[in-house]
Amino acid sequence: MSGDAGVVEGPLQGYHHETYVVPLPGWTGEAEPVRWKCREPRPGLLWFDRRCFASEEELLRALQGRIEGIPDLIQAGSAGLQRFIEGETLGALFGSGGEIPSSLLGQIVSLFGQLARVKPDSLTAERTCTSVYRAAEGDTDGFLERLILFTEEEVYQRNMPDFKGLFYDLGLESASFGKLREQVSGLTSRPFHLLHADLHRENFVVDGAGRLWTIDWELAMFGDPLYDLATHLYLMRYPRDQERRMIERWREVVAPGGSDGWEKDLPKLLAFKRAQSVFTDVIRTALSLEGERTADTGVLARAGDRIRQVLSAATVPLGIGVPAPESVTAALGRWCEEQAKSAEVLAGAAVPGGA
């Protein structure tokens, strides 16, 4: 498509997709070649969040003219391409926990206001959420229950064959989900609208003119607007004063009724995010250790520290304790040994005459 394979950049760093950036001279009539993203989902990956739209590109087309600062799209032959936003991510400019300049904070607030105007019956993009995972309009308790159910069934239970021993060693049992439901029930009803559901620093790109762009809409859904705010606050790690300002400004732009009961419900939704992170972070951390068999280099110990941090943050919503550092390190070591033995068995079975 570019006419020169040497100008293609990639694959870019990313978990869910293999992504390449391709300059296409003349496609937009602009003086300089515009670069476009060509990507496909990586096969065999674990998904820790539900996807509610059939196609991110189809969703972005439906949102053109309704949401500012989202990538343009073109069809180049059989390939659907997103415009590559030239700039730096918010995370590269202002790391986790750092304060965001007021001009950029205002653009995030504006995005929340635009999302609030996109109602479930006003969008043509195909939705794929089954009835099991789709709550009725305004049923915030039902909405959160379905998020818990997805974590329980598609993250915890689905990965049980590979992580049963590690889950047990860390005190993560099925009863934890009952505790979680007790902690977060009783939400106030709020009207649903479109949620990005993954608004963190790496999904915002700042261009050379200081304009904020929002990327990676794969986890978008319709649901409780307070959940989008809770997810954003949890992932952004704002300084305390700026978090307070964000809440105040979000309340000003959300649709009527969208902030009802926020003081009571925001802590519950943040508790869910902390609980959800336990299962995803345990699995991701363990997978990052595949091939490690000892703790001689401190790799297992550092991984254990990360796991203890997420466990500590979720002790109340999950009703769990935090194992001692040496216990977590030992649990990770056992998991690595088990994986190594399983790999050896599979390798032997693949060789003719192997044991």
| Mean pLDDT taken over the chain | 89
Q: Tokens representing 284?
A: 């991701």
Does 353 reside within a domain? no
Report whether pLDDT(16) > 90: no
Same domain flag for 208 and 317: yes
Q: 3-state secondary structure string, 238-268?
A: CCHHHHHHHHHHHHHHCCCCCCCCHHHHHHH
pLDDT 10s digits, 20-62: 888 876 655 566 668 888 877 776 666 677 889 988 889 999 9
C-alpha separations of 295 from 285, 286, 299, 300, 329 in Å:
14, 13, 6, 5, 8
Give the residues across from 22 on adjacent strands.
36
Does 312 reside within a domain? yes
Same domain flag for 170 and 139: yes
Q: What is the mean pLDDT of residues 74-91?
A: 85
- Distance of alpha carbon 32 from alpha carbon 23, whole angstroms: 10
Give the residue with greater pLDDT, 125 vs 264.
264
pLDDT at 347: 61
Q: What is the mean pLDDT of residues 119-135?
A: 82
Q: What is the mean pLDDT of residues 175-201?
A: 97
pLDDT 10s digits, 146-161: 999 999 999 999 999 9
Tell me the torsion sign for CA atoms 202, 207, 208, 209.
negative
Q: What single-letter DSSP state applies at residue 16?
A: S
Give the residues across from 39 on adjacent strands.
19
Domains contained in the chain, number: 2
Same domain flag for 15 and 105: no
pLDDT at 24: 77
Give the residue with greater pLDDT, 79 vs 30.
79
Does 350 reside within a domain? no
Does 203 reside within a domain? yes
Same domain flag for 11 and 72: no
Report whether pLDDT(355) > 50: no
Does 90 reside within a domain? yes
Same domain flag for 17 and 72: no
Q: What is the mean pLDDT of residues 214-236?
A: 96
Same domain flag for 98 and 20: no
Q: What single-letter DSSP state applies at residue 127?
A: B
The answer to whether 221 and 197 have CB atoms below 8 angstroms apart is yes
Q: Which range among 16-25, 230-239, 251-260, 318-327 shows the weakest confidence by mean pLDDT?
A: 16-25
Same domain flag for 196 and 245: yes
- Distance of alpha carbon 316 from alpha carbon 80, whole angstroms: 45
Does 96 reside within a domain? yes
Report whether pLDDT(78) > 80: no
Same domain flag for 10 and 70: no
Same domain flag for 146 and 196: yes
Same domain flag for 56 and 199: yes
The amino acid that residue 91 corresponds to is G
Does 69 reside within a domain? yes
Does 349 reside within a domain? no
Domain span including residue 94: 46-343
pLDDT 10s digits, 270-291: 999 999 999 999 999 999 887 6
Report whether pLDDT(295) > 80: no
CATH of the domain at 120: 3.90.1200.10
In percent, the amount of the chain with pLDDT more than 90 equals 66
pLDDT at 132: 65
Same domain flag for 2 and 126: no
Same domain flag for 157 and 76: yes
